[in-house]
Structure 1
C-alpha cells in the first residue's frame, strides 16, 4: 500500500478543486475522465473528511455552500452530492445572503428536493442519533434529517448500531443503507507513539471537546471509588471547554485521584505526544452510534476503557472487549477501570499491538474505496 499523504494535503486538494470550479457559470461541454462528487459541509477542523475521501478515483469538491454545489451539479460540473454534517446546513459562501435558521433549513430542503427531482444523485452519512449537547435535535435539523432519510439514494452509517437506528427510527429502507466503519487516523497526526510496556501505575486519557454526552463526570466519580490506589497514576482530560455548554468537571474530581484538566484545542502536532503519555483511552459515551476518538485511539495503539453502548464494541478489536462494561451493571465502570490497572505489562503490550492491527484493517485508503464502491453500486457515481 502506498504511503499515506498528510490529511492537510488531501484537504488542500479538495479545496483547490472547489476553487477551480467556483467561477463556472456555463454548462459542461467536454466529457471528463473522472467523476466528481461535491461534499457539503466540509469543515477543516477535523481530518476525518480528507481521510474518508483519500483514495477515491472520483475528484472530491469541498463545497463552501450547498447553493454552490447545486449550481455546479445543475451545470454538469459535479456528478453527485454527499451531505455529511447536516447540523451545519447554515454554512454559506462569502457573498451569499444570510438566512434565519428556519429560512436556511427550508431553503436547504427545497434546493435538494429540486436537485433530486431534476435527476440529481444524493448520498448522506448518518453520524449520530442526537445533538452533541442535548438528547434531541432542533425542529430545523429534524426536518432536514427526515428529508435526507426519505430522499437520499444511499445512506452511509459507520456501524450496525447506526444501521439499526437508520432502519428502526429513521425508517430508511435497508436496501439504501450501507455500513462502512470509520476510517482510522493513519496519516493525520504524524507517527503514532511506539508500543512499549506500560508503567506500573496506569495513565488514562479523555480527549476532545468536553461535551455532556461523553460521560466524563461519571468516569471521574467511578475513579474515586475504584480500588486502584496502588496502580493508578493520573487521568488527563485534554480538549476544548465551551463555557455554558461543557459540563463542570471540577465538581466531580475525586480528592483521592490525580486529574489533569488541560482545557483548550489540542494542536495537531501535539496529538501523538499526548497519546504517548497515556496507557488507556477513556470512552464513556452516554449515547453514540460511532466514535472518531475510538478510531484515533486504535491508530495510536491505545486500548479503550469505557462503555459497551451503540457501535463502540465494533470500533475496537475483540481483545479490547473485556474493558467495556455493560451500563446496566452497577459499578461496571469501576470494575473495568480496576481491570485495566491490574493488567500485566505483557497483556497490555499485546493489546496495544491488537489495537494497531485493528486500525490497519480500517486504513483510510480501504474505507475510502469501499465508500466509493457503495456509491457506484447505488447509482450515485
Structure 2
C-alpha cells in the first residue's frame, strides 16, 4: 500500500517499476483503511511518502496535533497487527510550512515507527541519522530514478539531436517556490541581458503569487517567456526539446525531480555547488556548478554556457543522458523491490 499517492507525477511508477503488486491509495488522509488492509495480507507493508501531507497541514496547531495523534495511533495498530512501514524521505522540511512543531512531532514518530527509511542520497542519510536519530541500520539509499521513458519512448529521447541555434536557450521548470532561487533570478537575468543579450529563458510551471511578483521585472525583457500553470504530461517533452541548459539556482533543497527530468532530456544543469546538487548530476558536469548563492557567479556561469562551443555542449548532453540511463526505472525499481520484499521475510 502506497500513501499518499501523488497524481500527475510518474515518480511512483518509475520507482516501483512494472513488477510490484502495489496498491495506490489516493487521498488517504486518515489511514482508516490500514486495519482492513493488514487483516487481508499475510505480510502487509505500507509505503509512506511526503510526511508534510500528513502532519502540520492546518493553521490550527491543536487540530494538527489531534490529527497527527490519530494517524500515529493507526500506524501503531497496523504494526501491532503484523504490518511493516517503509518510509521514503523526500524533503528536509515541509514544502509549505504552516505548523513546524506538529510536523516535527509527526516526523519524529515516523522515525521510531518505520522499519526501513528510504533516502535518495548520502547527505539525506546523514540528515536522518544525525538530526532525527534514525538508527543507521534502518537507512536504505536508493537513488531517485530518471524520467527516461516516462513521457515518451526512451529511444525518442535518446536519439533527439542537440538543438542547433545561434541563441542559447535556458529553461527553469517546476512549481515556483522560494527555495527554487526565485529571489536570485531577476537581478541575475537583468545583469546578463546587459552583457549578453543572445540568450532565451523559458519559465515553465505553476507560479505562485509572491514568486510571480518577485520575477516580474525580468518578464519585461524580450529574452524571457513564461508558460504559467500545470504542464500536462503530453507537453512535458516540448518544454525541454528546444532548450540547451537547465537553470537550477536552488537555495534550500534536498533532492530535485526537475533536475533529474531535465537531464533525462539531455540538458546540463547550472546550479549551486552543493552536495545535494552533486548527488543528482554527473561528475563530468560538476564544473558547471557555481559557488555562492549570489547573482554574479550565476551570471558568469550562464555566460560560459552561452559561449560554449556546440561540440562541448554535445559532450555535456551525452553525460546527462548516460546519467539518465544509469538511473533509469528498470535499475532503480529492481533495487527498490528487493528492499521492499526484504520486509516480508
TM-score (norm 2): 0.88
* Cα displacement (A) at 1:227: 7.5
Distance change (3 Å), C-alpha of 1:247 and 1:137: farther
Distance change (3 Å), C-alpha of 1:380 and 1:304: farther
Q: Which position in structure 2 is the counterpart of 1:105?
A: 68
Which is helix-richer, 1 or 2? 2
Matched, 1:183 2:145: yes
Matched, 1:304 2:266: no
- Residues 206, 283 of structure 1: 8 Å contact kept: yes
Distance change (3 Å), C-alpha of 1:237 and 1:49: same
Q: Which position in structure 2 is the counterpart of 1:236?
A: 202
Equivalent of 1:374 in 336, 339, 342: 339
CA distance in 2, matches of 1:380, 1:211: 39
Measured on the aligned residues, the alpha-carbon RMSD in Å equals 2.4
3-state DSSP of counterpart to 2:279: helix
For structure 2, list consecutive stretches of 5 or more residues without a partner in the other structure: 56-61
* Cα displacement (A) at 1:78: 6.2
Matched, 1:122 2:96: no
- Residues 38, 81 of structure 2: 8 Å contact kept: no
Distance change (3 Å), C-alpha of 1:51 and 1:221: same
For structure 1, list consecutive stretches of 5 or more residues without a partner in the other structure: 1-37, 91-98
Equivalent of 1:261 in 212, 226, 239: 226
Question: Where do 1:325-336 residues align within 5 Å?
Answer: 325-327=290-292, 331-336=296-301
* Cα displacement (A) at 1:111: 0.6
**1:17-43: CA deviations, max 9, x gaps?**
xxxxxxxxxxxxxxxxxxxxx110112
Q: Which position in structure 1 is the counterpart of 2:316?
A: 351
**1:198-218: CA deviations, max 9, x gaps?**
423211111111111100330
Question: Where do 1:159-238 residues align within 5 Å?
Answer: 159-190=121-152, 191-192=156-157, 194-196=160-162, 198-226=164-192, 229-230=195-196, 232-238=198-204
3-state DSSP of counterpart to 1:249: helix
Distance change (3 Å), C-alpha of 1:198 and 1:304: farther
CA distance in 1, matches of 2:295, 2:339: 42
3-state DSSP of counterpart to 2:32: helix
Q: Which position in structure 2 is the counterpart of 1:23?
A: none
- Residues 182, 215 of structure 2: 8 Å contact kept: no
CA distance in 2, matches of 1:288, 1:146: 20
CA distance in 2, matches of 1:176, 1:232: 51
